[in-house]
């Protein structure tokens, strides 16, 4: 097969990190305020009451100083040092962050494919492990399970963040208007409906609205904090880390850490949203504005709690606002608290979309429909199914838990578990990806594993009090992820095993008529002689081939047991494959060489070949719109009439449209054979009025495995998982979900796949 490739062969099908400079960088940092930090930025609404409940007595001055010291150092060690300083260096080459992105960095997929030999080569693809150690190969599945569990809990956290933050903010109205305290839940649900229904406008559009709100909110926190600090400047003793240690030595109350953990909820969003911004913009916004605002806010609340503890403990945030409870500043803070919590909800919803995009692209979740909402950043997506599922679950949780104190008991377990998993995955990356000294990685694991372990242990004690809910959500999600990852890998393996080299599957028989051109230019017909190019006496032979005939080759696989032992049968050998005057596009849904199983199955059943066959792979490019000249990479099979392999470079904001593919095929024919191109192009035009898209529909069946005495149980479980669950999910969520074309142009070829 010779190839003449269209322009665009060098396009990178992977995402690239967001790269901006100057004013663009500052604007991106400004946008990040409205997407990333509102979760951690609204923590002052409920953290101190999470440590010292409103139903209890006000803490002593030393306890307050110790509690504020613990918060300050938690914010310093985790969001600032661990995430801003360290974790952001470990995004994938595509600029993505989060637990599953760390796993991708350890086990990247190798989908490089030689497009010149895509139809005549053997199947390839999969995870690259040739350079890894045996231990690395053994640890692939355990690390995948761990990263998927962390991702599942992050997604569960996306349910509780809106519930906790919005309910806490709305609850402040009871401070000024006790008569409406019974209406807090319905008011919160109303605000949540607004948040979820606005997601369709996209991350960029929402950031334009939310970023100014977040900026004002952080400035309000900073200014009120500074004022309150003046009431008791001795609160600065909280910067002494020994005060935090002495708090637990003195009280022996380990549960206080579960309340402190609420101060760092949302720090995982800093890493998970890396694909939507970039590391430098995130670092700028956090260190210049977010971190100092939070530190001053907690210092101010601590000062007010020391000065007026019995009155403030009822609702530390709202009671510590300077001025009267019905004053102008109170209502300004109340309005912006509501707005900021709506933005906080946005932070985790956006991170949830980003994480779902990762696991869908890595074939670890059913391919839900994704809508790209930005012209510049591929990571900014809207996933309708995820959005509405989150909306329903969040509203149910708000209604069931009914108040913010019960919600905060359920909150935090997901965060602490994800932080611990990130530490472990970062340690592995340091050794296997960054190739840092083992002693550095172990030092990191011991130090941050200790801090993460402290918070994780405290959150475990909250499971009976409500933390079982996010744990249950996480278990359900990881169950779906593991089932899909396992079954999809089996299906892809079946697809690869049943692909065939085109030349091994189709036999082309050509019977040309030869003309000997004599010196007097009198043409005389001769029989074909393939061994010589010159006749005796200097007569030059010119071959003019007739229409070729095609048969299933004797080398073709039988689909079940490899190559047919006796070759094709006598009946098959004499049966010609008829050429149908139409154009068929066979979609290749996974990486690898050889013709897809749909082609093999169709030809075996129909004994016919379309006049024009295109084997199409769709590669989504991290550019919003691809120019026409770079949209297709096309190759032609010289030995087969009408056979083409094409890669469709699809911009993430482009509509799926293959009509202009024909123009590239015409150009290819002109470049490959200028003398006969016009005749070939005319023939193609006559049959390509309405192309038919052919995709596989695998009707998967569980194969029987022999595991000894447990065979019956194992085979029964496999059948339930593969045939009753995975097969139904695969039917509900087809792989074409993200490259839609009119349904009347699609033919699904049913294939029985025993996996």
pLDDT attached to residue 205: 60
d(CA 460, CA 144): 23
Bigger pLDDT: 655 or 541?
655
- What residues have CB less than 8 Å from 135, skipping those under 6 apart? none
pLDDT tens per residue, range 153-172: 888 877 887 888 888 888 77
Please, which pLDDT band fits residue 204 given cuts at 50, 70 and 90? low
> Six-digit token pair at 19?
């790269």
> Six-digit token pair at 56?
């209890």
> Comparing C-alpha atoms, which of 274, 313, 416 is closest to residue 49?
313
> Six-digit token pair at 503?
């030349």
Measured between alpha carbons, how far is residue 268 from residues 433, 581, 751 in Å? 21, 57, 43
Alpha helices in 230-327 (DSSP H): 241-251, 256-260, 267-272, 279-285, 291-307, 309-312, 316-319
Task: Please check whether residue 344 is in contact with residue 161, taking contact to mean a CB–CB distance below 8 angstroms.
Answer: yes
> Comparing C-alpha atoms, which of 424, 414, 426, 354 is closest to residue 86?
426
Bigger pLDDT: 179 or 458?
458
DSSP state of 58: P
d(CA 738, CA 722): 24
pLDDT tens per residue, range 499-514: 888 878 888 877 654 4
Q: What mean pLDDT is predicted for residues 276-290?
A: 88
pLDDT attached to residue 437: 94
Q: What percent of the chain has pLDDT over 90?
A: 27
pLDDT attached to residue 496: 79
Considering the four listed CATH numbers 3.40.50.300, 1.20.1740.10, 3.30.1360.200, 3.40.225.10, the one that applies to the domain covering 31-107+135-493 is 1.20.1740.10
115: pLDDT strictly greater than 70:
no
d(CA 635, CA 52): 69
Q: What mean pLDDT is predicted for residues 260-270?
A: 86
Task: Please check whether residue 41 is in contact with residue 217, taking contact to mean a CB–CB distance below 8 angstroms.
Answer: yes
pLDDT tens per residue, range 664-682: 888 888 888 888 888 888 8
Neighbours of 142 (CB within 10 A): 9
d(CA 641, CA 549): 10
Buried b (16+ CB within 10 A) or exposed e, 186-223: ebbbebbeebbebbeebbbebbeebbebbbebbebbbb
Pick the range with the lowest mean pLDDT from 123-132, 350-359, 692-701: 123-132
Q: Where are the domains of the chain?
A: 31-107+135-493, 498-508+549-754, 512-545
d(CA 144, CA 129): 14
pLDDT attached to residue 568: 52
First to last CA, the chain: 33
> Comparing C-alpha atoms, which of 668, 698, 697, 671 is closest to residue 115?
668
CA atoms within 13 A on the CB side of 631: 21
Please, which pLDDT band fits residue 526 given cuts at 50, 70 and 90? very low
pLDDT attached to residue 630: 79
Bigger pLDDT: 584 or 327?
584
pLDDT attached to residue 181: 67
């Amino acid at each position: 097969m010779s190839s003449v490739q269209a322009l665009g062969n060098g396009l990178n099908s992977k995402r690239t990190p967001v790269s901006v400079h100057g004013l663009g960088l500052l604007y991106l940092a400004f946008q990040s305020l409205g997407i990333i930090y509102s979760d951690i930025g609204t923590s002052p609404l409920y953290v101190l009451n999470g440590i010292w409940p409103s139903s209890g007595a006000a803490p002593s001055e030393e306890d307050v100083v110790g509690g504020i010291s613990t918060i300050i150092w938690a914010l310093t060690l985790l969001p600032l040092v661990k995430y801003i300083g360290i974790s952001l260096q470990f995004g994938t080459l595509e600029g993505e962050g989060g637990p599953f992105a760390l796993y991708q960095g350890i086990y990247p997929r190798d989908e490089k494919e030689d497009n010149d030999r895509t139809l005549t080569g053997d199947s390839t693809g999969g995870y690259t492990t040739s350079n890894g150690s045996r231990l690395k190969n053994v640890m692939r599945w355990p690390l995948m399970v761990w990263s998927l569990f962390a991702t599942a809990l992050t997604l569960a956290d996306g349910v509780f963040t809106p519930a906790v933050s919005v309910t806490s903010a709305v609850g402040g109205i009871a401070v000024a208007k006790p008569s409406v305290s019974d209406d807090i839940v319905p008011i919160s649900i109303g605000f949540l409906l607004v948040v979820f229904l606005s997601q369709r406008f996209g991350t960029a559009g929402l950031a334009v609205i939310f970023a100014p709100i977040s900026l004002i909110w952080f400035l309000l926190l900073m200014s009120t904090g500074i004022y309150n600090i003046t009431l008791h400047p001795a609160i600065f003793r909280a910067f002494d880390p020994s005060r935090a240690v002495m708090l637990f030595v003195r009280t022996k109350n380990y549960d206080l850490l579960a309340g402190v953990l609420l101060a760092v909820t949302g720090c995982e969003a800093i890493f998970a949203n890396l694909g939507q911004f970039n590391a430098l913009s995130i670092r700028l916004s956090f260190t210049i504005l977010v971190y100092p605002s939070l530190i001053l806010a907690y210092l101010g609340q601590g000062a007010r709690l020391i000065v007026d503890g019995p009155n403030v403990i009822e609702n530390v945030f709202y009671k510590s606002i300077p001025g009267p409870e019905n004053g102008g500043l109170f209502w300004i803070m109340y309005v912006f608290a509501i707005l900021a919590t709506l933005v906080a909800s946005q932070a985790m919803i956006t991170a949830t979309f980003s994480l779902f995009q990762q696991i869908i692209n890595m074939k670890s979740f059913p391919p839900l429909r994704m809508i790209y909402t930005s012209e510049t950043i591929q990571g900014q997506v809207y996933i309708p199914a995820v959005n509405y599922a989150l909306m329903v679950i969040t509203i149910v949780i708000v209604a069931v838990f009914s108040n913010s104190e019960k919600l905060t008991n359920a909150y935090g377990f997901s965060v602490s578990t994800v932080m611990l998993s990130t530490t472990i995955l970062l340690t592995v990356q340091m050794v296997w990806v960054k190739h840092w000294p083992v002693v550095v990685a172990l030092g990191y694991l011991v130090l941050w594993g200790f801090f993460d372990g402290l918070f994780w242990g405290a959150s475990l004690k909250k499971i009976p009090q409500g933390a079982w809910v996010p744990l249950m959500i996480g278990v359900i999600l990881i169950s779906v992820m593991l089932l899909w990852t396992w079954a999809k890998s089996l299906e892809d393996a079946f697809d690869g095993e049943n692909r065939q080299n085109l030349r091994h599957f189709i036999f082309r028989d050509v019977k040309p008529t030869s003309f000997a051109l004599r010196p007097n230019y009198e043409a005389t017909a001769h029989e074909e002689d393939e061994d010589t190019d010159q006749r005796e006496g200097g007569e030059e032979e010119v071959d003019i081939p007739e229409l070729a005939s095609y048969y299933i080759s004797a080398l073709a696989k039988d689909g079940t047991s490899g190559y047919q032992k006796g070759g094709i049968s006598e009946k098959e050998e004499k049966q010609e494959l008829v050429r149908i005057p139409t154009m068929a596009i066979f979609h290749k849904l996974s990486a690898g060489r050889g013709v897809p199983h749909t082609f093999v199955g169709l030809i075996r059943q129909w004994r016919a070949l379309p006049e024009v066959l295109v084997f199409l792979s769709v590669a989504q490019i991290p550019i919003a719109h691809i120019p026409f000249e770079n949209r297709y990479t096309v190759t032609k099979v010289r030995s087969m009439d009408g056979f083409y392999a094409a890669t469709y470079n699809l911009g993430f904001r482009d509509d799926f449209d293959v009509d202009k593919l024909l123009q590239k095929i015409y150009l290819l024919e002109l470049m490959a054979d200028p003398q006969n191109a016009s005749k070939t192009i005319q023939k193609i035009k006559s049959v390509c009025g309405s192309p038919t898209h052919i995709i596989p529909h695998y009707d998967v069946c569980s194969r029987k495995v022999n595991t000894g005495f447990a065979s019956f149980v194992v085979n029964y479980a496999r059948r339930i998982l593969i045939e009753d669950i995975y097969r139904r999910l695969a039917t509900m969520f087809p792989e074409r979900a993200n490259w839609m074309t009119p349904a009347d142009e699609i033919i699904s070829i049913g294939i029985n796949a025993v996996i």
